[in-house]
Amino acid sequence: MKKYLVLTAVLALLATPLLAQDGNFHNPKGHMPMMSQKQSHEGHFMRQGPQGKGQQMGFPFWMAEELELTDDQIEMIDDYQDVARKVAIDVKADINKLQIDQKNAMDDGNYKEARKIVDQIFLKKATLAKERITVKEKIDSVLTEDQKDKLKALHKMKPQGPPAKHQELGK
């Protein structure tokens, strides 16, 4: 049971940034070079996935080489995330429209209608959360048990955030 919870938490962390991405990210199908290396501003090499995707994706493609992902696995994960990103764009647009309707209903003093719209907004937000779960589930189905174990280990070693600004000032 504990393993299942840890796996679920790791997959949740992987897909959370997925739905927060800008819809202008272009990914032409069929043009997916394997791993390349890009030197970061801190002097070490960060592995990049297809089309330089690393930080912009829900799945950490910079780990693809360490996980020994095949080209097919990378393409499948990328496809799953593209579909989820498109769904997220549509749902977020619907939420924005509903928020405008809610504001107008409130301004008009139509509180009953505003309550109905709030319910609709939260149904849309639930749809987004369920889509994140679906993507995590699909990614999990692509990985082997060994890759899942390696992914857990890599996440434990990975720093949790960028270095603090005050450390850079002291250099």
Domain ranges across the chain: 2-27+70-159
**What percent of the chain lies above the pLDDT cut of 90?**
39
Model pLDDT, residue 105: 96
Sign of the dihedral defined by the CA atoms of residues 125, 57, 148, 44, in that order = negative
pLDDT mean over 79-96: 94
The SS3 of residue 106 is helix
pLDDT 10s digits, 11-53: 666 666 665 555 554 454 444 444 444 433 333 333 344 454 4
d(CA 21, CA 16): 10
Residue 158 has pLDDT above 90, yes or no: no
For the segment 68-72, the average pLDDT, to the nearest whole number, is 89
